[in-house]
Amino acid sequence: MHKLIKLMEAKYMKKDIGAFNIGDTLDVQLKIVEEGKSRIQTFEGILIGRQGSGLNETITVRKISYGEGVELVLPLHSPSIDSIRLAKKGDVRRAKLYYLKKKIGKATRVEEKIEHAESGAPASPETPTAPAGEASK
């Protein structure tokens, strides 16, 4: 029975979801239906929580709009989500960022993660190196 449920769920799961973690700034494209017409609306915010697994996985995205905190809890595999784009990588040390709800202003910012080049890469040409025999004056 368990395998049958997994097969049914696999039909509805999205395959084009990128890799993103807690603290990342996401650009979520939502399909909005109004009076029979469909349009796409963007919701950009920080990913503060991720719960569940499989078809039941949800994400919590938070942004500040006109001084008020706005949160959306979205099923990750929902048909109302058109796409999810990673805007910035965040550098955090926690699994849930619920503490951001109590912060105001600049304190709500999350540091951006900077990816470093591989260790075997040559030094950049902008950083001149002095020859070994000469000392800087």
Domains parsed from the chain with CATH numbers: 2-106 (2.30.30.790)
Task: Give the pLDDT score at 85.
Answer: 94
Average confidence (pLDDT) over 95-115 = 88
pLDDT at residue 125 above 70? Answer: no
Average confidence (pLDDT) over 40-55 = 94
CA distances from 80 to 21, 42, 61, 94, 112 (A): 21, 12, 15, 29, 29
Give bridge partners of residue 90 from the DSSP assignment.
Answer: 112
Task: Give the pLDDT score at 105.
Answer: 85
Q: Which two tokens stand for residue 61?
A: 């995205």
Per-residue confidence band for 52, with pLDDT thresholds at 50, 70 and 90? very high
CA geometry: angle at 66 spanning 77 and 102, to 5°? Answer: 75
* Cα(68)–Cα(64) distance, integer angstroms: 5
Residue type, 99: Y
Q: Which two tokens stand for residue 36?
A: 């029979």
Task: Give the pLDDT score at 126.
Answer: 56
CA distances from 21 to 2, 56, 57, 96, 116 (A): 29, 17, 13, 10, 18
Task: Give the pLDDT score at 15.
Answer: 87
pLDDT at residue 93 above 70? Answer: yes
pLDDT at residue 29 above 90? Answer: yes
Task: Give the pLDDT score at 121.
Answer: 55
% of the chain with per-residue pLDDT over 90? 55
